[in-house]
Amino acid sequence: MPAKKRQNDPATGKKNKKEKRGELAVINSDLRDEAVQKSMRDAWQRKESNILLDCEPFPHCQITRFLQSESFVESLQAELLQLNFNSKSNDLYKFQQSDDLGERKEDHISQIRSVIFGEFRVWLSEVLQVDLEATVDISCAKYEHTDVLLCHDDELEGRRVAFILYLVPPWEVKDGGTLDLFSTDEHCQPVSVVKSLLPCWNSLVFFEVSPVSFHQVAEVLSEEKCRLSLSGWFHGPSLPRPSRYIEPPVPRHTHIPRDESLLFEWVNEMYLDPRYQARVQQEFEESSEICLATFLQVIKFAKLMLVAMKWKFRFISFLNANMQSVPSCVQECWELLSSESFFILLSNLTGLRLHYLCGDEDESENEDGKSETENRGGEGNTQASASNTDADTSTTEKKDKGPPTCVGELRRWMHGDYTLLHDSVKREYALDLQLHMGCAGWKSEFGGFTSYIAHDEDEELLTVYPEDNSLALVYRDKDTLKFIKHINNSSSSQLSSQNTAAFYDFSFNYYE
């Protein structure tokens, strides 16, 4: 909870005000000790641990009682809590942040800024033997219940050392909000949390920003406490970075030969009616997305959900799975979603060319457009020709792609799960399919929803919420990305009420 402002005694209020004006931001005098500086400097250069420094999983240091005056720290906290905070939320984080504090005039804020980027920066430059610039990069963050900052490395041009000054009430592990440090593999990719630092009043943590400095702020679990901190970066020459690691693409496959009877056994007969398919297709073509409620037959869906909940798995990519270990009911559903008849059904529901029997509407339109253009003259002819060139290019690309393909997986979603956006992911046109199970009563504030955004923009284009037996279809273009929002602690009570710790989804991508 935000700290309450202390009420001055009326008789001594003026005296207290004078005393506050006289407070100074002074770092711990131990940091000026030449022996401390030398041991820190030597340890940092050798990358060996000692009492002040830990170099695993990457070099970092925690300084307790960073500022000498407790009174100053309390006044600083009070000043910071008076700032305006902006709610920030995307694939990577959810918390509240102040505007940049580089120009703030408040007494204690301006003092701490001067100390950190003045005396402390000089001390740090000497310890690390790195020329740190005087660039001021600092803000205040406020994490409350379910707020989180997920795994990242902080690397950005010019950042050399990250720092966090904690202004928190007495904090325990059960409150969450730890600073978690990750180990990395041979590709400099994060593997798992190997160390967690507990926030502590008036303690400062700093670490070197590098290709392996992966860390996160664990979700805050306390409903009463506020994790308040000042954080920022010292700028300087960046460390060398290896070539970006790109994960090998997941293999795709064409449809599998399965009898049409599988479709009639599993799919709600309403969606097999050609007239209803035409209505769905019209709606899909207008918005490029649709949710089809009660998509599977009720009895089949109930059995599938029961089997999934009892089956001990985390993530199944069907192309690489040992199908002998997959329950028959789950295997049948995968075969349904991969079958030739289902490819045709999707073509009828969306108008996309996912089977050679389905006509290419774009080619028909291009031919019509060409005939119409030939009867025109002047500028109109030139403009239409350009359009035809683009259309011809698009048609050529489609022909070069080969037959329609898909890739699918079955996923188990629990508290703490999420996906992130990746720049290295190939951007292309695709039809996304999601079929959720075990999420009755799910609320948006739990997370776990699929968010679609435009490339290089934070604006959300579309959100798909988990809903039992609802088939979500979304056609995305090359400039549309998606992620699954972090599932927070609020979901635990909802899942436990259904005697489960997770919900599930089939996730498929289809390519024309």
For the stretch 477-493, pLDDT in tens is 999 999 999 999 999 87
- Long-range CB pairs of 494-497 (<8 Å, 24+ gap) are 494/441, 494/442, 494/443, 494/446, 495/414, 495/415, 497/441
Report CA Rg, the chain: 29
| Rounded Cα distance, 57 and 214, in Å | 9
Whole-number pLDDT of residue 28: 81
The least confident of 247-261, 348-362, 438-452 is 348-362
Q: Place 13 in a pLDDT band, splitting at 50, 70 and 90.
A: very low
Query: How are beta strands 405-413 and 215-217 bridged, if at all?
Result: unpaired
Whether 146 is in a domain gets the answer yes
Range of the domain at 422: 253-356+402-511
Whole-number pLDDT of residue 198: 97
Whole-number pLDDT of residue 52: 60
Taking residues 54-76, what's their average pLDDT?
94
CA 359 distance to own-chain centroid: 39
pLDDT at position 14 over 60: no
Same domain as 145, residue 114:
yes
Same domain as 408, residue 329:
yes
Whether 389 is in a domain gets the answer no
Whole-number pLDDT of residue 372: 37
Q: Place 219 in a pLDDT band, splitting at 50, 70 and 90.
A: very high
Q: Return the structure tokens found at 310.
A: 């009892």
CB neighbours of 487 closer than 8 A, spacing ≥ 6? 413, 414, 415, 416, 417, 418, 446, 447, 448
Same domain as 464, residue 342:
yes
| Rounded Cα distance, 113 and 136, in Å | 8
Q: Return the structure tokens found at 343.
A: 């490819």
* Cβ neighbours of 4 (radius 10 Å): 8
List the beta bridge partners of residue 143: 227
Q: Place 423 in a pLDDT band, splitting at 50, 70 and 90.
A: confident
Total of domains in the chain: 2
What is the per-residue DSSP string for 284-326? HHHHSEEEETT-B-HHHHHHHHHHHHHS--SEEETTTS-GGGS
Whether 4 is in a domain gets the answer no
Same domain as 59, residue 118:
yes
Look-up of token digits 């007239």: 275
CA-closest candidate to residue 344, choices 402, 274, 428: 274
Whole-number pLDDT of residue 5: 41
pLDDT at position 181 over 70: yes
Q: Specify whether the CB–CB gap between 291 and 420 falls below 8 A.
A: no
Taking residues 419-426, what's their average pLDDT?
84
Query: How are beta strands 179-184 and 148-152 bridged, if at all?
Result: unpaired
Q: Place 255 in a pLDDT band, splitting at 50, 70 and 90.
A: very high
Whole-number pLDDT of residue 326: 87
Whether 23 is in a domain gets the answer no
Look-up of token digits 């970066």: 233
Taking residues 377-406, what's their average pLDDT?
51
Please, what's the b/e burial string for 93-104 (b: 16 or more CB within 10 A of its CB; e: otherwise)?
bbbbbbeebeeb
Same domain as 412, residue 302:
yes
Taking residues 70-94, what's their average pLDDT?
97
Higher pLDDT, 446 or 395: 446
Q: Which of 200, 235, 270 is the last residue of a domain?
A: 235
Q: Place 387 in a pLDDT band, splitting at 50, 70 and 90.
A: very low
Taking residues 409-430, what's their average pLDDT?
90
Whole-number pLDDT of residue 318: 67
Whether 14 is in a domain gets the answer no
| Rounded Cα distance, 354 and 238, in Å | 48
User: In residues, how long is the chain?
Assistant: 512
Q: What phi-psi label fits residue 331: left (phi over 0), alpha (psi between -120 and 50 degrees) or beta?
A: alpha
Q: Which of 174, 205, 235 is the last residue of a domain?
A: 235
CB neighbours of 280 closer than 8 A, spacing ≥ 6? 271, 290, 292, 349
CATH code of the domain containing 78: 2.60.120.620
Query: How are beta strands 190-197 and 179-184 bridged, if at all?
Result: antiparallel
pLDDT at position 12 over 60: no
Whether 145 is in a domain gets the answer yes
Amino acid at residue number 375: N
The least confident of 198-202, 310-314, 354-358 is 310-314
Task: List strand residue ranges (DSSP E) for 175-329, in order.
Answer: 179-184, 190-197, 204-208, 215-217, 227-235, 289-292, 315-317
Whole-number pLDDT of residue 84: 96
Taking residues 34-43, what's their average pLDDT?
74
Mind listing the pLDDT tens digit for each residue in 268-320? 999 999 999 999 999 999 999 999 999 999 999 999 999 988 887 777 776 65
Query: How are beta strands 405-413 and 315-317 bridged, if at all?
Result: antiparallel
Same domain as 205, residue 59:
yes
Whole-number pLDDT of residue 316: 76
Q: Print the SS3 string covering 460-475.
A: EEEEECCCECCEEEEE
Same domain as 160, residue 309:
no
Whether 439 is in a domain gets the answer yes
**pTM reported for the whole predicted model:** 0.83
List the beta bridge partners of residue 453: 460, 481
CA 443 distance to own-chain centroid: 19
Same domain as 122, residue 54:
yes
Q: Which of 235, 261, 276 is the last residue of a domain?
A: 235
Taking residues 374-378, what's their average pLDDT?
37
pLDDT at position 129 over 80: yes
Whole-number pLDDT of residue 375: 38
Whole-number pLDDT of residue 320: 59
Q: Specify whether the CB–CB gap between 469 and 439 falls below 8 A.
A: no
Same domain as 186, residue 138:
yes
Q: Place 51 in a pLDDT band, splitting at 50, 70 and 90.
A: very low
Same domain as 227, residue 258:
no
Same domain as 305, residue 231:
no
What is the pLDDT of the chain when averaged over all its residues? 86
Same domain as 277, residue 157:
no
Whether 392 is in a domain gets the answer no
Q: Specify whether the CB–CB gap between 206 and 123 falls below 8 A.
A: no
Q: Specify whether the CB–CB gap between 171 and 179 falls below 8 A.
A: no
